[in-house]
Amino acid sequence: MSFITDDFLLQNDTGCTLYHEYAKSEPIFDYHCHLPPQDVAHNRRFTNLFEIWLEGGHYKWR
């Protein structure tokens, strides 16, 4: 038996229903990702972790 199942972290029937019937097929929405909106809109493919985590984050270089 696998530790991580389709209901991993879902603690009750309501949570399971909401996830499986409504949220499971949705894309991941991350409004606090600090990526430029253009990169998200154009589905930019990053070549390495530096480009994703540090390239555009001027606040990370302070």
pLDDT tens track, the chain, 62 positions: 788 999 999 999 999 999 999 999 998 777 777 788 888 889 999 999 888 888 876 666 66
Q: Tokens 């009750």 belong to which residue?
A: 12
Number of separate domains in the chain: 1
Is 8 exposed, middle or buried (CB count within 10 Å of its CB: 0-12, 13-18, 19+)? Answer: exposed
Provide the token pair at 53. 């985590």
Is the CB of residue 23 less than 8 Å from the CB of residue 32? no
What's the whole-model pTM score? 0.49
Predicted pLDDT of residue 27: 86
Q: Is 4 within the bounds of a domain? A: no
Predicted pLDDT of residue 31: 74
Predicted pLDDT of residue 46: 93
Is the CB of residue 52 less than 8 Å from the CB of residue 30? no
Q: Is 7 within the bounds of a domain? A: no
- Which residue range is the domain that position 31 belongs to? 13-61
Predicted pLDDT of residue 60: 67
